[in-house]
A = this chain, B = another copy of it.
Amino acid sequence: MTQDSISRRRLLGTAGAAGAAGLIAGGAGAVAADRVSRDTDSTALTSIGTTSVAFAGEARAHGTPQAGITTANQTHGHLIAFDLAPGTDRKATAALLRRWTEAAREMSDGRAPDQDSSGIALDAGPSSLTVTMGFGRTFFDKVGLKDKLPQALSPLPDFSSDALDRKRSDGDLWLQLGADDGLVAFHALRTLQRLAGDAARTRWYMAGFNRTPGATTEPRTTRNLMGQIDGTNNPKPEEEDFDTRIFVPKGGDDSSPEWMAGGSYAVVRRIRMLLDSWDNLSLAQQERVIGRRKSDGAPLSGGTETTPVDLNKFAADGSIAIRGDAHVRVAAPESNQGAAMLRRPFSYHDGFSDDGTPDAGLLFIAWQADPMKGFVPVQRKLDRGDGLSRFLRHEASGLFAVPAAAGDGEYVGQRLLEG
């Protein structure tokens, strides 16, 4: 951990009169002014607030996916699922999706939606806000679209580590919001929740977080609440098979109708970490469970974080470097016929249970072209053989079809509802 620290008071001291007021009343604002950051090309001043992510998404091989999938993960995340209200027909649903799309588009661009008197997000830019919209299995029958239900939305199988709360699982509609500022994220969440009006009501809600930009001095894969570097082996967007693994091909395929072309499936799992048990292990014990060194994420077979895991390496004493039940071994694509998914999680912490144990863990969000070739085979394997599973409990689950981005003038899901 770096020792290069300066006094926050001294830093603020240079801000003069404006900083003095801000020191107490609006610390964050005052600090912001002192910490305007630079683009790496050193030509343009930018800041966390003014960074935007295009709501329309960025084109890839199979189409243009929604923002919030290949977007760098943000500091604040909100997941919220809705059920359509009784009597909400396809037309009312389309109107809701249009309201959400228009508001999300405006807010992603740093503009306040029409008739927004809340002002919560004023002063800040969009802070990399993304809004991602998905459809659950129960959606289709309710709006008379059963013939368009993707095979890929078949219910996930049961796993032995499941202790699912059905009230916090599934849902007709799902929104994933992310932003690097808490007020911007709250404002977007509240705006979209209000826009649901009488058409849909909140089924469940979860909040998560990731590292603040600037909290680490070097680029670094983020850590989870077990302290483990998490995500090293994620598929990379520049890899040749990335699009095939993560996005539905043009025209659809066996498990997806054409309206899902360019889209992806989100598996959402609230995975509680049994941190009291975990923290009672020594560092060496924790590292053997994972198969990686905690300090830098290097595999126990040697090298650095990005060195490929050598599952056949033996230590000097003749013992296998990566244990048979180590998480990295069981989760490795080599152990799962190449099955892979793009994990883009948030950590969560919702206080403490009555016995004092933290209600904390991972809002696991995994993206794939077909859950039967991504999450399901990997989780089946983990469920049987992963030493880490003793320290985890899956408490909620959802599976959502997330179609491609809406083009200009379109709303998200228009090809489903009107195609």
Contact = CB atoms under 8 A, between A and B. Distances in A.
Interface string A32-62: 1111111111001011111111100010000
A232 B21 contact: yes
A24 B232 CA distance: 9
A380 to B, nearest CB: 23
Contacts of A125: 1-2, 4-5, 215, 217
Contacts of A222: 25-29
Interface in A323-371: 342-344, 347, 349-352, 356, 358, 360
A310 interface: no
A39 B7 CA distance: 11
Given A41-B14, A112-B1, A219-B19, A213 B119 contact: no
A128 B224 CA distance: 20
Central interface residue in A40, A71, A110, A211, by most chain B CB within 10 Å? A211
Contacts of A101: none
Given A54-B7, A117-B286, A125-B1, A351 B28 contact: no
Interface in A171-188: 180-184, 186
Contact of A37 (B27, B36, B219): B36
B4 A190 contact: no
Given A219-B33, A347-B183, A306 B128 contact: no
Contacts of A350: 350
Interface stretch (A92-100, A201-209, A255-263, A398-406): A201-209
Q: Is the interface of A mostly helix, strand, loop or mixed?
A: loop
Contacts of A14: 39-41
A186 B122 contact: no
A325 to B, nearest CB: 20
A172 to B, nearest CB: 15
Interface residues of A, number: 132
B109 A5 contact: yes
A110 B27 CA distance: 21
Interface stretch (A153-161, A264-272, A276-284, A388-396): A276-284
Nearest to A295: B122
Contacts of A372: none
Q: How many copies does the complex hold?
A: 2
Nearest to A221: B26
Contacts of A230: 25
Contacts of A244: none
A294 B76 CA distance: 25
A199 to B, nearest CB: 12
A164 interface: no
A214 B36 contact: yes
A397 interface: no
Interface stretch (A137-145, A234-242, A314-322): A234-242
Given A33-B218, A211-B28, A214-B48, A205 B18 contact: no
A358 B190 contact: yes
A336 B22 CA distance: 24
26 contacts: A1-B122, A4-B46, A9-B58, A18-B219, A21-B221, A26-B73, A26-B219, A26-B229, A27-B72, A27-B222, A28-B215, A32-B215, A32-B219, A33-B216, A35-B46, A35-B213, A119-B223, A119-B283, A119-B294, A120-B226, A123-B215, A182-B209, A183-B215, A183-B225, A186-B349, A194-B279
